[in-house]
Amino acid sequence: MKNVLILGSNSDVAKACIPIFARIGYNLILAAKSFSEEDSDNLKMLEIEYKITIEKHIFSALDFENHAIFYENLKIKPTIVVSLFGILGDNEKAVTDFQEAKDIISVNYLANVSILNIIANDFKSKKNGVIICLTSVAGLRGRASNFIYGSSKAGLINYLSGLRAYLSSYNVRVVSIIPGFINTKMLTINTPKMLTASPIEVANVIVGSIDSKRNVIYVKPIWRIIMFIIRLIPEFIFKKLKF
């Protein structure tokens, strides 16, 4: 049976993923801080139309102590997990107010480590599963304007790389999706169209990654080239670029 757990199912990317997964016959286990009545009605319609089961579970990324219980309580256990929760935060505030920095790091990095470790152990014992996680190009080099968020994503990228190696002999795949900009509620600035993906584009990459053999996927290939060049810039020049 094909069961997918979406962590952060209120995200705009998740909302694009849900109908695609439903259409191809996946049961959905949705995990979010809350669910609206409107969402619940739409999900009911998907269940009927595609003859699938959709379960909703309250999930708080920061409630580390209850992550194990959250996972234990899932009646349907996933074979695929897509982790989409995250916050951008305010970099300027995070430099002066440690609570802001702590929240960004805790949601984007620590919470993924906490919940994905639990899921990884389950998949490892079953010798089956796919873990898909959204990272960011911001995690590939620290920039002046968003290095707290970037460092949390850098930690996540490294964690996923290690987890991939750790699970590789257990028939468990770990896929890191690297988006540039995505046109969602998280994006608060105007960005060039060419560098900005729609949630549907990201959703198609996520769903397509399940049957591919790829480990690290850039949503828009142009970002691979951009980040290659950005990473070549010597530090003494890079530190003067305030972007």
Binding site for ligand NAP (CB under 6 A): 8, 10-13, 32-33, 59-62, 84-87, 107, 134, 136, 179, 181-182, 184-187
Nearer to ligand NAP, 132 or 167 (CB): 132
Contact 135, 160 (CB under 8 A): yes
Distance (Å, whole) CA 7 – CA 81: 8
Buried b or exposed e, range 158-167, using 16+ CB within 10 angstroms: ebbeebbeeb
Nearer to ligand NAP, 52 or 140 (CB): 140
Write the single-letter amino acid at 177.
I
Nearer to ligand NAP, 117 or 168 (CB): 117
Minimum CB distance to ligand NAP, residue 125 (Å)? 26
Minimum CB distance to ligand NAP, residue 181 (Å)? 4
Nearer to ligand NAP, 70 or 124 (CB): 70
Minimum CB distance to ligand NAP, residue 69 (Å)? 15
Task: Give the N- to C-terminal CA distance of the chain in Å, as an integer.
Answer: 46
Dihedral through CA 2, CA 124, CA 30, CA 180, nearest 10? -100
Place of tokens 């670029």: 241
- The residue with its CB nearest to ligand NAP is 86
Identify which of 84, 68, 42 has the alpha carbon closest to the alpha carbon of residue 175.
Answer: 84
Minimum CB distance to ligand NAP, residue 152 (Å)? 9
Minimum CB distance to ligand NAP, residue 124 (Å)? 24
Q: What are phi and psi for residue 108, nearest 5 degrees? A: -75, -35
Nearer to ligand NAP, 35 or 170 (CB): 35
Contact 180, 219 (CB under 8 A): yes
Nearer to ligand NAP, 8 or 129 (CB): 8
Distance (Å, whole) CA 115 – CA 128: 17
Minimum CB distance to ligand NAP, residue 195 (Å)? 10
Q: Tally the C-alpha atoms within 13 A of residue 30's C-alpha that lie toward its C-beta.
A: 26
